Amino acid sequence: MKKPDKTVIERRIVFLLLVLAVALPIILPLGLKTQSTPLTEQVYDLVNSLPAGAPVIISFDYDPSTITELQPMAEAVIEHAWRKGHKVIATAMWPQGPQVAEMAFNVVQARMEEKDPNARKLMYGVDYVNLGYKPGGMVTIQGMGRSMEAIFPTDITGLKYNKIPMLSPVRTLKDIRYVISLSAGDPGLRDWIMTANGKFNIPVAGGTTAVSAPGFLPYVNDQKQLHGLMGGLKAAAEYELLLGYEGTASLGMNPQSVAHVLILALILFGNIRAWKKRKADKLAQEAKHG
């Protein structure tokens, strides 16, 4: 049998270390605490600033591949909006968005009922609604600025727009008090910023994967193109912290933090090895040239 070369063995060791770095903190949580940052606090403040009854849109612009980062964010934002009594309208610019929205609604509802069994049960069509998926990105949002009913004639159950009680005061996008887009790419947050905020002046906040967050930071400015930004699992954990509970994001920060430290250690190790190799090459060259 052919013996695997050194690079393959090294790669396998790296993979094994990463598995351990992720698995061990899940099995034995380290109890690490996160700290909230101004960007997440801005999103929290936007939701917190509005009175009960305000119609709001949470747009589920992602699919299950990024659920680990974005679903805890969705759950935290929905819980906050419901605690404040906002009327949550779920929309989606990605085909799997309506399903992930339903999952988030179910989880938050169960959690809130568990926390306070005597609280009023949240009702579909009265406290929240799922309008489903629409293709078209920015153009669809422009259409919502003309008529919400024209874009979403029915919800995902097939119920007509004008028969849904909580939607009676919502004629166009201009009746919405804020939009939070949880976005894994295009179409997504950028379309909401450029159209809902740029054209209709609706406050827009967002949540993205950690890797795409830096690209949205220019929109968090004095003109408030973006009212705060949640980037990755850490921001979801921060939102959970602000709401005062430990959810999947807070727990997920344990393995993520250990994995980050492992990657840093690997970078350090790789550099030491490269430096040693360079030194050895230099010495060999000096010896060769006398």
Report yes or no: 148 and 170 within 8 Å, Cβ to Cβ.
yes
Rounded (5°) CA angle 204-209-211: 120
Residue among 15 and 115 whose Cβ is closer to another protein: 15
* Residue 10 near another protein by CB under 8 A: yes
DSSP class of 168: T
Q: How far apart are CA 225 and CA 247, in angstroms?
A: 29
Q: Within positions 86 to 125, which residues make up the interface with another protein, using CB under 8 A?
A: 95-96, 98-99, 102-103, 124
Among 6, 28, 117, 158, binds another protein (CB under 8 A): 158
> Is position 142 an interface residue for another protein (rule: CB under 8 A)?
yes
Pick one of 115, 260, 276, 282: the residue that binds another protein (CB under 8 A).
260
d(CA 78, CA 108): 7
Among 20, 119, 217, 280, binds another protein (CB under 8 A): 217
- Contact with another protein (CB under 8 A) among 267, 280, 283, 284: 267
Question: Is residue 207 at the binding interface for another protein, with CB under 8 A as the rule?
Answer: no
Three-state DSSP class for residue 134: coil
Q: What strands, in cross-sheet order, belong to the sheet with 55-61?
A: 128-133, 87-92, 55-61, 179-183, 204-208, 229-231
φ, ψ (nearest 5 deg) of residue 75: -65, -40
Query: Of 85 and 153, which CB lies nearer to another protein in the complex structure?
Result: 153
Q: Which of 24, 45, 50, 67 touches another protein by CB under 8 A?
A: 67
The token pair at 33 is 């605490």
Residue 239's nearest CA partner among 97, 25, 63, 34 is 34
- Cα-Cα-Cα-Cα dihedral sign, residues 119, 124, 125, 130: positive
Asked if 28 is part of the footprint of another protein (rule: CB under 8 A), the reply reads no
Min dist CB 118 to another protein, Å, is: 26
212 makes contact with another protein (CB under 8 A): no
Q: Which residues bind another protein (CB under 8 A)?
A: 7, 10-11, 14-15, 17-18, 22, 30, 32-35, 37-38, 63-68, 95-96, 98-99, 102-103, 124, 130, 134-136, 139-140, 142-143, 146, 150-151, 156-158, 210, 214-215, 217-218, 232, 234, 237, 253-254, 256-257, 259-264, 266-267, 269-271, 274
